[in-house]
Homo-oligomer: A and B are copies of this chain.
Amino acid sequence: MKCDGAGEARMLDKNKKILIVGLGMIGGSYAMALKRLGYSVSAITRSPSTVEWATEHKIIDKGFCTVDPEAVAEADIAVFALYPHTFVEWIRENQHLFKSGALITDVTGVKGSITGTVQGMLRRDLEFIAAHPMAGRERSGVRFSDDGVFKNANYIVVPTERNTPEAIETCKALGRTVGFSNISVLSPEKHDEMIAFLSQLTHCIAVALMCSNDDPTIKNYTGDSFRDLTRIARINDEMWSELFLANREKLLCQMDRFSESFEKLRRALEERDADTMRSMMRQSSERRAEFDK
């Protein structure tokens, strides 16, 4: 687990040909960033209207709605921005099309259950290095692509012992090139623990909060705090339920830790124990202040 030093700032080799598989909001934002810098970018994605939109808006050079063998064979680096199970299936069915030495990476939100599976089934002359861009939007689809979301955001490279130092460096360079400000390295185990807390638990909270009150007039009385806290309550249910299930045990554990802490605050309020409430508030303030430095 380490962060980028100031000295290390290699960008991706300009001649690398990039293939994006799955052109949603994140895949589209990668394409946008890379195309802007002059890289050759092609894409494979399901919907013809996505290909049309992306070509018209010049965020890709070429796009295909089916697995085009030539497009796959040309790629030096392929970025997979699919649902976890679709990614695994795609590799199983189409990995024979890659040229020898191609590097595969992804943007999947869970790692433990995916990375081993993909690395285990991959041809010996290919390499898969997992990555997680900590950026997104509460809207999905290529039309919401915006490479501005990578600015000041965190990018996590998630190697295993099967990865080469070269692939790790290239993956970091990719993150830096598309515009991430802070590049870190974590093991799949640690990544999934971190993401259960930082991303999945927060989505659980926002969803549970919105589901706990059906008063339609609340929008007349909200302040920023409620709006900020529930922004992520607009959620792609198909993708997130899959991500939750793929990281089930770690997420359950984080949910229980949160419930315990919430219950402690509730008990303090019930018992009119202002000291405990205030000490929790001071602790949360101190910890949160670290993020604003």
Q: Does A194 contact B (CB under 8 A)?
A: yes
Determine the chain B residues whose CB is within 8 A of the CB of A256 once the complex forms. 266
Q: Does A135 contact B (CB under 8 A)?
A: yes
Are A234 and B285 within 8 A (Cβ)? yes
Tell me whether chain A's interface is mostly helix, strand or loop, or mixed: helix
Known: A231-B228, A235-B284, A237-B285. A262 touches B202 (CB 8 A): no
Q: Does A274 contact B (CB under 8 A)?
A: yes
Determine the chain B residues whose CB is within 8 A of the CB of A292 once the complex forms. 234
| Nearest CB in chain B to that of A154: its residue | B221
Proximity bits, A213-224, B CB within 8 Å = 1, else 0: 111111111111
Determine the chain B residues whose CB is within 8 A of the CB of A225 once the complex forms. 136, 198-199, 202-203, 206, 231-232
Q: What number of copies of this chain does the assembly contain?
A: 2
Chain A positions 206-264 with a Cβ under 8 Å from a chain B Cβ: 206-238, 240-242, 244-245, 248, 251-252, 254-264
13 sampled A-B residue pairs with Cβ under 8 A = A135-B224, A153-B223, A154-B222, A205-B229, A207-B284, A209-B258, A210-B283, A212-B260, A228-B229, A233-B287, A240-B281, A241-B281, A259-B263
Residue positions of A touching B, CB distance < 8 A: 1, 3, 134-136, 149, 153-154, 156, 182, 184, 186, 194-195, 197-199, 201-238, 240-242, 244-245, 248, 251-252, 254-266, 269-270, 272, 274, 277-285, 287-292
